[in-house]
Structure 1
Amino acid sequence: MMMDLSKNTIALILGGGRGTRLFPLTKIRAKPAVPLAGKYRLIDIPISNCINSGLRRIFVLTQFLSVSLHRHLRQTYRFDHFTGGFVELLAAQQTIESGTDWYQGTADAVRKNLRYMDQPGIEHVLILSGDQLYRMDFRDMMQSHIDSGADATIAGIPVDRKDASALGIMQLDDSGRVTGFVEKPQTDEEIAAVRMDPAWIDARGIPSKGRDCLASMGLYIFKKEVMVELLQNSEHQDFGKEVFPGAIDSRKVQVHLFDGYWEDIGTIRSFYEANLSLAGKAPPFELGSVVAPLYSRPRFLPPTVVGDDVSIRGSLIADGCRIGDNVTIENSVIGLRTVIGDNVSIKDSVVMGADYTEDAADVSAGQIPVGIGSNSVISGAILDKNSRIGTNVSITNSGNVDTLGEEESLQVREGISIVIKNGVIENGFRF
């Protein structure tokens, strides 16, 4: 029988700070509000996992550019009056206790909102990240937490040694208790200090496949009173780098092993590659799970209209699109309400679509319409929402530029061309 998390558990989703590693996608929106896979937003992932786990009391903590995030939450997640469920945004605010300071980190953000955790019957707090792609039933993690009698439980995933330098790596004893932690170990000596025996992982029902490091996924369950004490008795600002490592010595911290798909979408490159990986025939993460679906805002859009002589291979096409004649789309994600003119080629690209449908009467004389103009070529690019791409445009980064621009409509990060939200690319532009 599955555990019931609806009565005694609250979820906190940490929305992160300025999202500088995802800039310019975070130029005018909070990181959790960044679109994903054509029709979702990053915040839909942890919230969907909560709902599918029977957890319906959810706070989202953020402070930067939260208007679009708040609008999405308000229009998407509404529960009936009988379950007491909610999804609420807790943005940084001035209070008598916290003064005028903004959140100084993930731990500081939770500390300044402890009053919302102090509700009758709440025994556990589930802390999640707002920028990861994975599917997990948190009831399994809670069962591990309860069975072990832990003060805190962290989700861990086996990784190869070559991947350890980008992650927080844990060391465990034979019972699964966390005894050591190294943030992004760079040397062989640091990795050796936290290396796990692959046989230990195999013995717990997860094939190690030679993986000998156990990475923190940044997902935690705390006993409420333990979390309150850890935060109130310290000035720690970050959960992953300070609160969790500090708790290892003074509290019983247990691991919950996980071996499904998990991707931290913290950079432009990881965002780009994660989106394109979902467009293949055998995606590593299944968007259409019947057992644990992904939720997002219902938009009631018409089906996508496709013209003549159109070739679409290995791609995701969202609702409400209009695709012209003689168009080729390959290994790409095409978002909601995307308009594509005739004789267009799109390859290895993420097109986020538009927030609205623009009629011809809405386009003033000389203005480039929202969408991709005829006779254009887009390759290896990200086109953010409401992009206006003119006719005869080529965006292929033919010069292999790694970084370009700060304020321009077209920027380059990690070698990926990005047209910013509401960006305009004039007719005949070549890059």
Structure 2
Amino acid sequence: MDKLLGIITANYSTKYPSALSESRPAASVPFMGRYRLVDLALSNMVNCGIHTIGMVMPYNYRSLIDHIGSGRDWDLSRKQGGLFILPGSAFGTSRTGSRFLLRDLEHNRVFLERGTCDLVLLSSANFVYNMDYDDLIAAHRATGADITVLTQQATRKDVDITGFTCEGDRVKGVKHGVEPGDTGFLDCFVMGREFLLQLLDWYQQTDYLDLFEAMAADYDRVDVRTCDFDGYAEGIFNKDTYFKSNMDLLDPAVASKVFPEGRAIRTKNHDNAPAKFELGSHVANSRISGSCRIYGTVTNSILGRGVVIEPGAVVNNSIVMQSCIVRSGARVENAIVDRNNEVPAGTEIKGTSEAPYVKEKPTE
């Protein structure tokens, strides 16, 4: 019997979509050069011993399926349990902000009914953090709550993060957006499998709502408790928070919290050759993925697989995704360059640290 059943929801869109999410779901947006955002949610579950995971897919699932495949790279290609691809409702990506749509859960009721474990852990794929979920599960069992949500005190205003109104550790209400000091929801919670099925019956007439929206009038009878997370966590809902989180992880102190020893973040294995730093190149405080060839200068930046920086080219404080070429004499600064782009020789792409420029993926 599995310790837990896991569900990752990917069938949603963001309120402020950018060129990065026009052709792919948020869960499959590249992160830190060699990863995708979904890798963190999958790895967190696998690292705490969850070996049966269902992933609710959006309609534009091609890049997500291409990345996760059968789940082999997360040790989820197995005879018992493993990775299950679950259909999302067509309503999912048309309604922004709802990461735990009741309709998506109801459409996959059979997956829940066939489970043999007593608890279900649900997560979205929009948050960057690395946590031992055993702590969340222990907190849930210790309080005897109906639902235990993973939270962190907000440090800035964010309209995309769900906020909770609390009395002590007891949730009394839900709101859209957080202000500094509010209790922010990290889009992860644990609850009883049978109780989740019961909630689906309770709210079957309002299945167009998010689970926590549907419970708005019932927080007095449903015992929802918080479990505070004190590590690094960043919600990625637009290009600005995406850029910030990537840049944050160039700080070794922050990177050690997201990539600690013993809790690896797994990703699809590409069997790339190592990066090659040619004579005359200069690289400082950057994350360089496999198969890159560096002839020019790269500082405070992140390069995806197979990127080529030609002689005389400069990349500073930027994210350059897979299979891009920055030609001789070109300069990229405070920018996000999506995959398969070519920056022509002598040109300049420049944004600011607060408002990075995004060069979208070329039309195939």
Same fold (TM > 0.5):
yes
The equivalent of 1:336 in structure 2 is 305
The equivalent of 1:79 in structure 2 is 76
What secondary structure, in the 3-state scheme, does the structure 2 residue paired with 1:282 have? helix
Structure 1 Cα separation of the partners of residues 42 and 300 of structure 2: 28
The equivalent of 1:320 in structure 2 is 291
Structure 2 Cα separation of the partners of residues 246 and 8 of structure 1: 31
Structure 2 Cα separation of the partners of residues 278 and 22 of structure 1: 23
Q: 1:282–1:29: structure 2 CA closer, same or farther, 3 Å change rule?
A: same
Q: CA-to-partner distance for each residue in 1:6-54, whole Å, 9 max, x for gaps?
A: 6142111111424463421112111111100000000000000001111
Matched, 1:417 2:357: yes
Structure 1 Cα separation of the partners of residues 48 and 217 of structure 2: 29
Aligned amino acid, residue 355 of structure 2? G
Q: CA-to-partner distance for each residue in 1:102-156, whole Å, 9 max, x for gaps?
A: 4365222112111111114232221101111001111111111112111111112
The equivalent of 2:230 in structure 1 is 259
Aligned amino acid, residue 92 of structure 1? G
The equivalent of 1:228 in structure 2 is 197
What secondary structure, in the 3-state scheme, does the structure 1 residue paired with 2:312 have? coil
The equivalent of 2:35 in structure 1 is 40
Structure 2 Cα separation of the partners of residues 288 and 120 of structure 1: 31
The equivalent of 2:320 in structure 1 is 351
CA contact (8 A) 2:314 2:331 kept: yes
The equivalent of 2:339 in structure 1 is 385
Q: CA-to-partner distance for each residue in 1:208-264, whole Å, 9 max, x for gaps?
A: xxx854222221112122222222222143436513534412211111121111110
> TM-score, length-normalised on structure 2?
0.88
Q: CA-to-partner distance for each residue in 1:375-415, whole Å, 9 max, x for gaps?
A: 10001111111112221121114xx7x9xxxxxxxxxxx83
What secondary structure, in the 3-state scheme, does the structure 1 residue paired with 2:253 have? coil
Question: Structure 1 regions of 5+ residues with no counterpart?
Answer: 1-5, 94-100, 187-210, 355-369, 403-413, 425-431
Structure 1 Cα separation of the partners of residues 170 and 320 of structure 2: 44
Aligned amino acid, residue 177 of structure 1? R
The equivalent of 1:181 in structure 2 is 174
Q: 1:285–1:26: structure 2 CA closer, same or farther, 3 Å change rule?
A: farther
Structure 1 Cα separation of the partners of residues 247 and 181 of structure 2: 29
Q: CA deviation at 1:159?
A: 3.2
CA contact (8 A) 1:388 1:422 kept: no
Structure 1 Cα separation of the partners of residues 160 and 306 of structure 2: 36
RMSD: 2.6
Q: CA deviation at 1:185?
A: 5.8
The structure with more radius of gyration: 1
Q: 1:244–1:132: structure 2 CA closer, same or farther, 3 Å change rule?
A: farther
Matched, 1:170 2:139: no
CA contact (8 A) 1:373 1:392 kept: yes
Structure 2 Cα separation of the partners of residues 421 and 384 of structure 1: 5
CA contact (8 A) 2:130 2:259 kept: no
- 1:98-247 correspondence to structure 2 within 5 Å: 102-103=91-92, 105=98, 106-160=101-155, 163=157, 167-174=161-168, 176-184=169-177, 212-234=181-203, 235-239=206-210, 241-247=212-218
The equivalent of 2:60 in structure 1 is 65
Percent of aligned pairs with the same amino acid: 21
The equivalent of 2:248 in structure 1 is 277
Aligned length: 354
Greater RCO, CA 8 A, separation 6+: 2
What secondary structure, in the 3-state scheme, does the structure 1 residue paired with 2:86 have? strand
Question: Structure 2 regions of 5+ residues with no counterpart?
Answer: none
Q: 1:88–1:313: structure 2 CA closer, same or farther, 3 Å change rule?
A: same
Structure 1 Cα separation of the partners of residues 115 and 252 of structure 2: 48
Matched, 1:89 2:60: no
Structure 2 Cα separation of the partners of residues 54 and 344 of structure 1: 45
1:52 to 41, 47, 60: 47
Aligned amino acid, residue 76 of structure 2? F
CA contact (8 A) 2:315 2:331 kept: yes
Structure 2 Cα separation of the partners of residues 171 and 81 of structure 1: 41
Structure 2 Cα separation of the partners of residues 166 and 285 of structure 1: 26
Structure 2 Cα separation of the partners of residues 185 and 275 of structure 1: 22
Q: CA-to-partner distance for each residue in 1:138-184, whole Å, 9 max, x for gaps?
A: 11111111121111111121234x5477643334445x322343433
Q: CA deviation at 1:68?
A: 1.3
